[in-house]
Amino acid sequence: MKDKSNVQFGMELEHFIAQKFVELGYPNARRSNGSGNKGEAGDISGQDLFTCELKNRNTDSITIKEEVWKKLKSEIPIHSKRLPLYILRNKNKTTWAVMDVDDLFTILKGWMENENR
């Protein structure tokens, strides 16, 4: 059996995350055109919450690369309300979402205020 190409391997995660956004109420969420090769900003389009960078790795351990995080943040327009979200998956399909801690607590604060109505 032939191994998957890097593009096919990455597309698996992109389709998985796009489907999660569809389930969240963004029916137009999809893998970005030209994902991974300077197409649309971010790897997932059709949702207005995050600019996402997705990395699917064929390793047990995952390393968060600061230069990827900085590039992701720099792709968000200054007045945009989008947040950077770095999603990583290892060979066991364990998937993590990485975000700035201040963004996390802003989201949690809003959620908690909404829950206490």
Mean pLDDT of the chain: 88
What is the band of 41 on the pLDDT scale with cuts at 50, 70, 90?
confident
The DSSP H or E segment spanning 56 is strand 50-56
pLDDT for 38: 58
pLDDT for 1: 45
- Compute the distance between CA of residue 51 and CA of residue 83 in angstroms, rounded to an integer: 6
The torsion of the CA quartet 26, 31, 32, 38, rounded to 10 degrees, works out to 150
The burial class, CB within 10 Å (0-12 / 13-18 / 19+), for 54 is: buried
Percent of the chain with pLDDT over 70: 87
Residues pairing with 54 in the sheet: 87
What confidence tens digit (pLDDT) does each residue in 88-98 have? 999 999 999 99
Residues pairing with 45 in the sheet: 30
Please give the average per-residue pLDDT across 3-8, as a whole number. 66
Where exactly are the structural domains of the chain? 6-115
